[in-house]
Amino acid sequence: MMQSKTLVLAAGFLGLTTPAMAANLFVPSNDYPTIQSAIDAARDGDNVLISDGRYEETLRIVDKSLNFYGRGTHPGHTSIVSPSGRHEIASSQLRFSLIGFHSEQVFDHRIPLDPGEDGLLIHYSTVEFSMCEFDRLVSWYTTNSLGDAGAIEMWQSDVSLSRCVFEGNGALSNKPYWASVARGGAIYAASSTLDIEDCLFEFNYARADRGVRSPWGCGAEGGAIYMSGCDFTSTGTRYEQNRATGVDGGSVPSMLHGGAIYASYPVSMHLERSYFIENRAAFGEVENADESYTGGAMYISHGRNNAEYLKHCRFTENHAADGGGAVYSSGGGRTKSNNCEYDCNTSTQNEGDWFNSGGNVFNECPEPPARGDFNGDGNVDIKDLMELYYSWGKVTPGSKYDLNGDGIVDSRDVVGFIVTRYGK
């Protein structure tokens, strides 16, 4: 018996693998030149160790229990780019660490990316992502496509994200014959559990345009995250400059909800120390006649028995054209806010089934000075007219004294000031 134990210990010190131990599969290597070749050869519990580099592969992982580790110090060092559609994960239990999922497109948050079929499709699986990166992944939702979210689409799965970054991902809907609704620029989750901790979502978007032959309108829900029937937790996470909007130069959307998050009938929903900054549910300066551009940071649709909990969160300068710049909640349930801070969210801070549980702080936006109130004293009077005279002649573009915008302060600006501004 002692001899058997000694042999096992010796094997461990020599780095040998017993049948009960997990194997390390190195990519690239002579045995495993690609990630997919390692996946196909791996047994449950094995580790796939991926060296720095760019891997152009479309991964398919079915009925596996594996761990994936990028061997660099940053997820951008180990980059996986799919040349032909989405990576698929089915009926598996996986862990990913220090890995980046990217597209070939150069990212500039001011320029929309070309749509494709990017990201990951996860169903009937449990997946953990730690220190991973998802960027520039854009899916185009058309009649012939099942794709929706740009980075991750999940169905009946448990997914946890820790210290991950989602940047510049998008969902674009433009169905030629049907109503086009884009959902979840970064994540689309249905009947799943989604746990997010210490992550960053920025510049993600859901954009919709009316199809050329469609008699119906278009809309977008959840610039960063769309979820339906999910258990959702967000802790220590930032949502910044995400958008639910239309397509530049396209048709005006009939509805836009949830610049960062759209939650439809959540099973449970808890957000703590989550920060929402400059997210928008809007299309330029358009206001919808049906008041359907709502929930600049978050839109929640729930039943009467549902309740969501916001604790120690901060909402700053989020915007919805028709109401609920921070949170819009509808359906008869309760969205309970405790010790949260709401700073300058427009057009209103919160609307709908929103419940103040105490400790919340509201800071409204300062009123901008009236046009013509050049000295900012709250009055448009002779003092402002004198400032106008002192600025006579050519001025820099956008000068507050150039009331008609022609680049010159002259008699026409004086007439405009007296006729339309003076004394108002």
Q: Please check whether residue 130 is in contact with residue 115, taking contact to mean a CB–CB distance below 8 angstroms.
A: no
pLDDT in tens, 329-369: 998 888 999 999 999 999 889 998 888 999 999 999 876 66
Residue 367, both tokens: 């009123």
Name the least confident of 139-148, 160-169, 305-314, 410-419: 139-148
For residues 69 and 35, give the distance between their C-alpha atoms in angstroms, rounded to a whole number.
11
Cβ neighbours, 10 Å, residue 145: 15
Neighbouring-strand partners of residue 228: 190, 264
Instruction: Name the region of 98 (left: φ>0; alpha: ψ -120 to 50; beta: rest).
Output: left
**Amino acid at position 184, single letter:** G
Residue that has been written with the tokens 């010190």 in this structure: 13
Residue 94, both tokens: 């996986």
217-232: average pLDDT: 93
Residue 64, both tokens: 């596996």
For residues 7 and 4, give the distance between their C-alpha atoms in angstroms, rounded to a whole number.
5
Q: Please check whether residue 107 is in contact with residue 136, taking contact to mean a CB–CB distance below 8 angstroms.
A: yes
| Structure confidence at residue 2 (pLDDT) | 38
Q: Please check whether residue 265 is in contact with residue 303, taking contact to mean a CB–CB distance below 8 angstroms.
A: yes
Helices (H) and strands (E) in the chain, counts: 4, 45
pLDDT in tens, 69-107: 999 889 989 999 988 888 999 999 999 999 999 876 554
pTM of this structure: 0.81
Residue 176 pLDDT exceeds 70: no
Neighbouring-strand partners of residue 71: none
Largest CA distance in the chain: 105
158-177: average pLDDT: 88
For residues 184 and 134, give the distance between their C-alpha atoms in angstroms, rounded to a whole number.
14
pLDDT range class, residue 295, cuts 50, 70, 90: very high
Tell how far CA 241 is from the center of its chain. 8
For residues 423 and 170, give the distance between their C-alpha atoms in angstroms, rounded to a whole number.
48
pLDDT range class, residue 249, cuts 50, 70, 90: confident
Residue 196 pLDDT exceeds 70: yes
Q: Please check whether residue 293 is in contact with residue 287, taking contact to mean a CB–CB distance below 8 angstroms.
A: yes
pLDDT in tens, 368-407: 666 677 777 777 888 888 887 888 887 776 677 877 777 7
Residue that has been written with the tokens 């026409």 in this structure: 412
Distances 202 to 48, 136, 138, 178, 224 between C-alpha atoms, Å: 29, 11, 14, 30, 8
Residue 107, both tokens: 């990212």
